[in-house]
Amino acid sequence: MEAFIDFFENIPTAFRAGILVGGIFVFWIIEGVFPLFEFGYKKVRHALINGILTVFFVIIGFGFAGTLLWASDWTTANEFGVLYLFEMPVWVQAVIGVMLLDLIGAYTVHWVEHKIKFMWRFHLVHHSDTTVDVTTGLRHHPGEAVFRMLFTVMGVLIVGAPIWIVFLYQSISALFTHFNHANIQMPKKVDRALSWVFVTPYMHKVHHHYTQPLTDTNYGNIFAIWDRVFGTFAEVENTKELTYGIDTHMDPEEHDDAVNLLKMPFQEYRPPVGSKFGEEEDS
């Protein structure tokens, strides 16, 4: 266990990059062989557009690295946080730490982004993708990257997570992001069984349906239990009947241009009748 902790305390940058790039490569191949949807789109162009947003996301992540490290070091030095409430084996610390970081740094911030109008404007860039595949998992506006990092820092402080648990969580989170968004077809019984504990491709695809109420379900990234506990879990009988995108931005010219995606949170739009943001002013 000491070797495991030491590895993640001093995790090589090449290893973290390998998870990011390698995960995309592996699921890119799998979804090419066993696709859920036959999109008939320019897959490389689609990946490049999402890749441009990914670069901004990574840069902002590095910008918060010092804050994340400070938060982790402070909690460790002061024995502050959930992990210090009582003595527990190291492996239990790892499980609880990763689960709570997933709750705060993934589920909670995602839920909040769907409930607060200002934050939703940035998050809709992710939902605007009408051809969801493995690269969609990294399609986030730089503004959303700030939200996500702030919640992750808050999670570290609440949990009292040492840096090795933080890096362990981020590594697992990256892999599940690839897995959940990949356009892969898998046995429905297997997917459903896994979805009692983990977020699966079919489960997350429901979240990417273009209209409510399905848009406001299945917020989790690693653990499906948060959606089940908080009543936001949903499933559909036939995943292939889903339509990806967001009903306010279905124009291909809007979501197929990286520059426009960066400007999207600041553009005017009229939410459809019945939308949770239907009261938005015209200006």
pLDDT digits (tens, 9 = 90+) for 177-203: 999 999 999 999 999 999 999 999 999
Mean per-residue pLDDT of the chain: 90
pLDDT in tens, 135-148: 999 899 999 999 99
Task: Tell me what the mean pLDDT of segment 257-282 comes to.
Answer: 67
Q: Is residue 121 part of a domain?
A: yes
Q: Is residue 274 part of a domain?
A: no
Q: Is residue 81 part of a domain?
A: yes
Q: Is residue 272 part of a domain?
A: no
Q: Is residue 276 part of a domain?
A: no
Q: Residue 269's pLDDT is what?
A: 61
Alpha carbon distances (Å) from 146 to 30, 60, 161, 271: 31, 7, 20, 25
Strands (E), the chain: none
Q: Is residue 283 part of a domain?
A: no
pLDDT at 66 over 60: yes
Q: Is residue 152 part of a domain?
A: yes
**In a 3-state reduction of DSSP, which class is residue 48?**
helix
Calpha distance 189→133 (Å, rounded)? 21
Q: Is residue 192 part of a domain?
A: yes
Structural domain count, the chain: 1
Q: 269: how many CB neighbours lie within 10 A of its CB?
A: 13
Q: Residue 97's pLDDT is what?
A: 97
**Among the listed residues 282, 256, 278, the one whose alpha carbon sits nearest the alpha carbon of residue 268:** 282
- Structural domain of 260: 2-266
